[in-house]
Structure 1
Amino acid sequence: MTLALPSQAFAAEEKAAEPAKAEAGGSKSKHWAYQPLKSPEAPAVKNQDWVRTPIDAFVLAPLEAKELAPSPEIERAAFIRRATLDAWGVIPTPEEVEAFVNDTSDNAYEKLADRLLASPKYGERQARRWLDLARYADSSGFTNDENRDNMWRYRDYVVKSFNEDKPYAQFVQEQLAGDEIYPGNTDALIATGFIRSYPDDSNSRDLVQKKFQNQTDITDTVGEVFLAQTVGCARCHNHKFDKISMKEYYQLQSFFANVNAVDKIPVPVKGETEQEWEKANAKWEEAVKEIKAKRQALIDPVKDKARKYNYERFSLETQAALNKPESQWTPEDRWINHRYDSNENEAAAALAFYQDNSAKGAYSYDPSYEKKAEEFKDINKELKKWEKLKPVKGSVYISAVSELGHPQQPPTHVRFAGQFDKPLEEVQPGFPAAISSEQPDIKPTAVSSGRRAALAKWIASPTNPLTARVFVNRVWGQYFGKGIVETVSDFGKAGTKPTNPELLDYLASNFIKQNWSVKKLHKEILLSSVYRQDSKPREDVAKADPDNKLLAVFPRQRLEAEQIRDSLLVASAKLEDSVGGPPVFPEVPKGLNAGDKWPVDKTAKETNRRSLYVFTKRSVPYPMLDTFDMASAQQVHSKRDVTTTPLQSLALFNSDTVFGWSQALAGRVINEAGADESDQLDRLYQILFARSPTDAEKETLEGFLAEQEKVIKQKVAEGKFTASVPVGVKDAEKLDPVRSSAFVDLVHAVANSNEFVYRF
């Protein structure tokens, strides 16, 4: 075996980093995903009566070719439960189910679809799926995992965009370059939170490396989310499967060369949330004014020395940039200095300076420093006592990205083997040749490079072969469990091929014709016959199409983590359905030991909000959601995992919170159904499953109730249990506490059943 010398390996890699040859960038790729979008006509089918939308013809044609018939239509009650879970992320109320079941008008299904899409709950549900892709979190990640107090504004922007049916092309452009394309537009600026959502380490000591890492995250995310391309594979070498070279990867990265996080942009209009924050903050500032003044008196004499001393904690290359006079800054030096200023903590630097220089031989020895360091610590302890007054949530700022307002851009180089400290040739912005032969139309302004605007307009162009295909495929996957391309974030050669390419192109081309309307796309799916099919298994389908790729049977799905929690809140009539605002901290298990990283909210108004609004702490995922495979905020989360573990059942069954919801549900059932136990069982099933129990189920439930009553009666007699009627029940004094306690246990068991956590 012959080993190459380092110089030989470097030369080989440098050669590989050159513009790709014919395969990587020369001739037009023939890969299906890079082909221009077609607008196919719906195919002719025998069973025309089944075709309600063009979607159905595209699905039915392959079924007929296999001599398979679609499944019968599902019952209306089951359909509205399915559609409401898909469109809203929660179960419907019994009244909504009854109204739909009894609606005999010809347009009953269309009215249902319109009602679902018009509700704010629709935007909340769609936002959750998008935030998975945006790697959204309310904290920064890494060791310190500091809170990001302003990121919820981006979450609310996404909810609002879906509810307003903002054209997807505009949605894309705002998130990539809202500050460039729509200067002065607050919503568009907030939209760049998509880029800002990258995990970040404020304590990084190599800011040259950190800049490269952040640009890498942004580039990889944009490639996956909008283009379904695994461009990150080309960071270290030419892509092994797709025609994307190293040079093209860094050309994409150069669109973000001057991207800079900004977290202190004042909100132009202060609403109730901002006013409350200001009021609380003013109260805290007044309380600690004298203490902070004492601390500042210790900071000021060593402020410049402490800053310079703090520089020594950074890498040599970072120090070189920090120590340069501003007149000598390169574009990269400018970025590094701005990054340092954004994260500088004068107080921490001053304390470290006093502590580290209180001994002889130190950087700037002074015998008084030891005493001042102790004084500094005492002041910090005093400040800590007032922490409870400091507002925990909300702010008066926006977190976004912008550029540093300079005509010169930091250079982007191809990096040997993807190593940040081994630059090769410099590159300029460009698109992968396999996807497009277009050149970026970059128009710089006085405050911005115009690079991201050029990229955003190319991605959102109707001529881009990927953007519409990728998005409609994601939406299809939401409804049917799998995308037409199952690898929803990989349309490359290593990904799966579309099971129905004509359907994919029909959906994508029609999406563009409909002015990129997301609601119209959802509505066509909701009204299709393929979406109305029953989900009962069929032997003929299992034999002819074992993976159900042709969709002769509607695919059942386990509910996502947020759907389970939110539907339990709906069932118990506990859901607080206000839209938007700062995130909340519901109660967590005592054994979590999250300390001050999870300050539990005190009121039901906060703790019982939708899961979308639960604080996303990268280092401390909310346990109930984490158990049921919530999205990881560390990177693009394209598809939810579906695991089945004993911990999931135990988490629901043993949770004090869930049991509390079961008690509330039991009380609701008693109030709404009256004293008749048969009616109570009917009502319970109507709330949870949108149906009434069968005779066999009722018999089983009545047997369980009788047995549980005996158990509780025995425990009461032994002094081991105190029976009670659920809180809030009308005429509680007329009810038997033992029987009522048994009924709560029955409700808790039914709410934990398999049927509740599945969408059929």
Structure 2
Amino acid sequence: MDFNRDVRPILAENCYACHGFDEAAREADLRLDTFAGAIGRDGGNAAIVPGKPDESELVARILTDDADLRMPPVDSGKRLTDAQQQTLRRWVEQGAAYETHWAFVPPQAHEPPPVEGISHPIDRFIQARLAGEGITPSQRANSETLIRRVSLDLTGLPPTPAQIDAFVTAAAADPEAAYRELVERLLASPHYGERWALWWLDQARYADSNGYSIDAPRQIWAYRDWVVDAFNQDMPFDTFTIEQLAGDLLPSATERQRIATGFHRNTQINQEGGIDREQFRVDSVFDRVATTGTVWLGLTIGCAQCHDHKFDPISQVEYYQMFAFLNNQDEPSMKVYGRDGDAGEAEGDAEPLTTTLVLKERAQPRKTHVLIKGDFTRPGAEVTPGTPAVLHPLERPAERTDEPLDRLDLARWIVSPRNPLTARVIVNRLWQQHFGRGLVEIENDFGLQGSSPSHPELLDWLALEFVRQGWSIKAMQRLIVSSHTYQQTSRLRPELDEQDPENYLLARQRRLRLDAEIIRDASLVASGLLSPKLGGPPVYPPIPEGVMGQGQVKRAWKASVGEDRYRRGLYTFKFRATPPPALSVFDAPDGFSTCTRRLRSNTPLQALTLMNDPAHVQFATALEKIIVRDGLETAFRRCTSRTPTEDELAVLTQLDPLSAARTLLNLDETITRE
């Protein structure tokens, strides 16, 4: 039996809440998350006699028919299956060996397994596993599908018919060279940064309003533009992290580095009358601790706010040590002058371009206490900044050893090559974006309650390669999209229905409904309306009447005119309480908390939005003109990146041009990445 693979998931799901790390919640003085606890060496009761299942109380209690003795208790709502019971019995019989949770062990170097005729390292890992299961990979997708897939994945924009034709012609002569050139063109596109900023802004819980019931507008789009630019420059992810968490603490911090600290200013701001401002300041710090833990460590650190974590080895004291790093900041607005100088210096007669929300370290540090049950009115023991003992130690450069710990130390600890989590977490989320699911399916919880990697050796290899490549996001995406695994067709294969119905082994690609903003962008491209302008203040595309009258505060929404009416979805103004319906109906996050994976629902409201939303009606009207001018086949290709069949054209020709345009923009194929 393999403890991490076979046993720990059973214990974590059914036992650790009452017999785990949280001492206050531990029952019967029994701890099952450690070997010493299970056999009674740490002073508790023994539940396991290694090698002797018939003498082990754990085995007796999970197998008994006596409802008063059976574990898990009947009133817990949990019940072990026969297979799970036998797994635990065999594990005890084999010696009850425990292992450190895989995610807390540094990534191990694995040589990609040899596969005849295959050189790409990702394909060697994937195809070796497939061969072991007697499965062959799918064939490479056709050229039209490939250019649409990789264009949408890397830039969030579909290819034009001219780009499709050029690629198909080049691929016919040399498919590998043509594809390499395509990928490099897309990675170099300024629209690459827009697409991947959207991915990061979900995690940053970005929105253009303060939240709570008043939900007043805020100005923080300079941070959004910083993210776009950072991705376009391929800023190393360790630098990207440090500047967002502690850019203001870097030596001679520049204006841009200060703007980057807007990451943690994306918390909500409560402007209601009569509130206790300290309560909501503390709530903001709670949010920052939880967000930092989820985004970079893939851990539910926030669960230790009120008590020791019930599953993961993170104590409440350690939670407040992390809290202390983020408890010593003021929250000013900063004038932005648009140059890479120190914003704190005299600016002379220069006029600021805008303002943005940033963090600034306080001259007089706040004291941090453990808050009893997470209540800000009940301070307990004082704590100083620190990190969880289960992870790597916090090390500092010699010149900083005499200074108090601060956010810069936390940021550097997070991106230390010794950290077993950060590189794994990020490459897993990159993989998730390109395949619809991460190698670790539960992408926001690498703790004991999470899922094990489907391909652990590949995950470790990717994590180490990420660091070796200088934390380059573009290098990792170039690696992923150049693999056959990525380029496979997504067509269903009947023989996989039995062997791998959910496609965990990756014998094919996966069809993915486009993100809400990308649906808008694809429609703008298809209709010829897209404004390619980058950056700047958020814009106001047309939305249905009455939407902004839904909240506690009635707000005006004056639709933008000119090219701002046709900007990418990334730039649409987003109120947290009343997000634009065309975005929320397609599962765009609301910005209240970090989002590390978007849901993909399928509802009738989505089809109605594509038909009737004011912006989409404009797209259809513009596409109608293309149909009249260039014909149905051209319009079809603009929407789907392929040539229609005769039967499809026959159906469309029975419609008037506007109805045909509305139909094309509403096709499943138009809003889906094959």
**TM-score category of the 2 structures, normalised to the smaller one:** 0.7 to 0.9
Q: Which stretch of structure 1 is more off in the superposition, 512-521 or 98-107? A: 98-107
Q: 1:259 is aligned with what amino acid?
A: Q
Sort the Cα spacing of 1:593 and 1:79 in 2 relative to 1 into closer, same or farther, 3 A.
same
1:626-645 C-alpha deviation (Å, 9 max, x unpaired): 11111120000111111111
CA contact (8 A) 2:516 2:584 kept: yes
C-alpha distance in 2 between matches for 1:563 and 1:688: 13
Question: Given the alignment, which residue of 258, 263, 271 partners 1:194?
Answer: 263
The answer to whether the aligner puts 1:71 opposite 2:138 as a matched pair is yes
Q: 1:173 is aligned with what amino acid?
A: I
Sort the Cα spacing of 1:660 and 1:437 in 2 relative to 1 into closer, same or farther, 3 A.
closer
Partner of 1:544: 499
Partner of 2:632: 681
CA contact (8 A) 2:610 2:665 kept: no
CA contact (8 A) 1:228 1:470 kept: yes
C-alpha distance in 1 between matches for 2:599 and 2:340: 40
Question: Given the alignment, which residue of 153, 156, 162 partners 1:86?
Answer: 153
The answer to whether the aligner puts 1:532 opposite 2:487 as a matched pair is yes
Q: 2:649 is aligned with what amino acid?
A: K
C-alpha distance in 2 between matches for 1:21 and 1:480: 36
Partner of 1:340: none
TM-score normalised per structure 2: 0.81
Sort the Cα spacing of 1:517 and 1:24 in 2 relative to 1 into closer, same or farther, 3 A.
farther
How far does residue 30 in structure 1 lie from its aligned partner after superposition? 0.7
How far does residue 184 in structure 1 lie from its aligned partner after superposition? 2.9
C-alpha distance in 2 between matches for 1:191 and 1:587: 30
1:5-30 C-alpha deviation (Å, 9 max, x unpaired): xxxxxxx96999xxx99969999981
TM-score normalised per structure 1: 0.72
Partner of 1:643: 601
1:677-730 C-alpha deviation (Å, 9 max, x unpaired): xxx22212211111111122222223x33xxxxxxxxxxxxxxxxxxxxxxxxx
Q: 1:185 is aligned with what amino acid?
A: T
CA contact (8 A) 2:548 2:557 kept: no
Question: Given the alignment, which residue of 147, 152, 177 partners 2:221?
Answer: 152
1:421-446 C-alpha deviation (Å, 9 max, x unpaired): 11111111111111123456797799
Partner of 1:454: 409
The answer to whether the aligner puts 1:751 opposite 2:665 as a matched pair is yes
C-alpha distance in 1 between matches for 2:150 and 2:541: 28
How far does residue 158 in structure 1 lie from its aligned partner after superposition? 0.4
% identity of equivalent residues:
39
Sort the Cα spacing of 1:459 and 1:234 in 2 relative to 1 into closer, same or farther, 3 A.
same
How far does residue 550 in structure 1 lie from its aligned partner after superposition? 0.5
Partner of 1:424: 380
**Greater radius of gyration (CA):** 1
Q: Please state whether the residue corresponding to 1:630 is helix, strand or coil.
A: coil
How far does residue 625 in structure 1 lie from its aligned partner after superposition? 0.6
Q: 1:745 is aligned with what amino acid?
A: S
Partner of 1:562: 517
1:387-424 C-alpha deviation (Å, 9 max, x unpaired): xxxxxxx9532321011223xx2111112111111111
Q: Which stretch of structure 1 is more off in the superposition, 164-173 or 639-648? A: 639-648
Q: Please state whether the residue corresponding to 1:647 is helix, strand or coil.
A: helix
Question: Given the alignment, which residue of 679, 692, 699 partners 2:643?
Answer: 692
Sort the Cα spacing of 1:493 and 1:405 in 2 relative to 1 into closer, same or farther, 3 A.
same
Partner of 1:208: 278
C-alpha distance in 1 between matches for 2:32 and 2:308: 10
Sort the Cα spacing of 1:14 and 1:94 in 2 relative to 1 into closer, same or farther, 3 A.
closer
Sort the Cα spacing of 1:568 and 1:534 in 2 relative to 1 into closer, same or farther, 3 A.
same
C-alpha distance in 2 between matches for 1:24 and 1:218: 34
Q: Please state whether the residue corresponding to 2:223 is helix, strand or coil.
A: helix
Q: 1:629 is aligned with what amino acid?
A: D
Partner of 1:330: none
Sort the Cα spacing of 1:576 and 1:35 in 2 relative to 1 into closer, same or farther, 3 A.
same
How far does residue 526 in structure 1 lie from its aligned partner after superposition? 1.2
Question: Given the alignment, which residue of 319, 324, 339 partners 1:254?
Answer: 324
Q: Please state whether the residue corresponding to 2:369 is helix, strand or coil.
A: strand
Name the structure, 1 or 2, with higher relative contact order (CA <8 Å, separation 6+). 1
**Matches for 1:101-500 after TM superposition, within 5 Å:** 101-103=168-170, 104-105=173-174, 106-149=176-219, 151-203=220-272, 205-267=275-337, 269=339, 396-406=354-364, 409-438=365-394, 451-500=406-455
CA contact (8 A) 1:13 1:417 kept: no
C-alpha distance in 2 between matches for 1:545 and 1:666: 43
CA contact (8 A) 1:23 1:243 kept: no
CA contact (8 A) 2:542 2:614 kept: no
CA contact (8 A) 2:207 2:590 kept: no
Larger helix proportion of the pair: 1
C-alpha distance in 2 between matches for 1:547 and 1:58: 19
**Matches for 1:694-713 after TM superposition, within 5 Å:** 694-702=645-653, 704-705=654-655
C-alpha distance in 2 between matches for 1:593 and 1:168: 38
C-alpha distance in 1 between matches for 2:299 and 2:422: 11
C-alpha distance in 2 between matches for 1:111 and 1:642: 31
C-alpha distance in 2 between matches for 1:415 and 1:95: 62
C-alpha distance in 1 between matches for 2:205 and 2:368: 25
CA contact (8 A) 1:254 1:412 kept: yes
1:444-483 C-alpha deviation (Å, 9 max, x unpaired): 799x965100000110111111111111000000000001
Partner of 1:722: none
How far does residue 494 in structure 1 lie from its aligned partner after superposition? 0.8
How far does residue 214 in structure 1 lie from its aligned partner after superposition? 1.3
C-alpha distance in 1 between matches for 2:497 and 2:209: 46
1:51-110 C-alpha deviation (Å, 9 max, x unpaired): 352111111111000000000111001110111111111211011111111002341111
Sort the Cα spacing of 1:270 and 1:258 in 2 relative to 1 into closer, same or farther, 3 A.
closer
Q: Please state whether the residue corresponding to 2:620 is helix, strand or coil.
A: helix
Q: 1:78 is aligned with what amino acid?
A: T
C-alpha distance in 2 between matches for 1:29 and 1:414: 31
1:160-197 C-alpha deviation (Å, 9 max, x unpaired): 00000000000000000000024331111100000111
Count residues in correspondence.
575
**Matches for 1:23-62 after TM superposition, within 5 Å:** 30-45=100-115, 48-49=116-117, 51-62=118-129
C-alpha distance in 2 between matches for 1:175 and 1:182: 15
Q: 1:649 is aligned with what amino acid?
A: A
Q: 1:253 is aligned with what amino acid?
A: F
C-alpha distance in 2 between matches for 1:83 and 1:92: 9
Partner of 1:709: none
Q: Please state whether the residue corresponding to 1:539 is helix, strand or coil.
A: coil
CA contact (8 A) 2:543 2:613 kept: no
C-alpha distance in 2 between matches for 1:521 and 1:25: 41
Sort the Cα spacing of 1:523 and 1:439 in 2 relative to 1 into closer, same or farther, 3 A.
closer
Question: Given the alignment, which residue of 592, 595, 603 partners 2:561?
Answer: 603
CA contact (8 A) 2:587 2:600 kept: yes
C-alpha distance in 1 between matches for 2:35 and 2:223: 37
Q: 1:646 is aligned with what amino acid?
A: P
Question: Given the alignment, which residue of 665, 678, 698 partners 2:623?
Answer: 665
Q: 2:253 is aligned with what amino acid?
A: G
Q: Please state whether the residue corresponding to 2:606 is helix, strand or coil.
A: helix
CA contact (8 A) 2:541 2:615 kept: no
C-alpha distance in 1 between matches for 2:244 and 2:398: 18
Question: Given the alignment, which residue of 166, 170, 179 partners 1:99?
Answer: 166
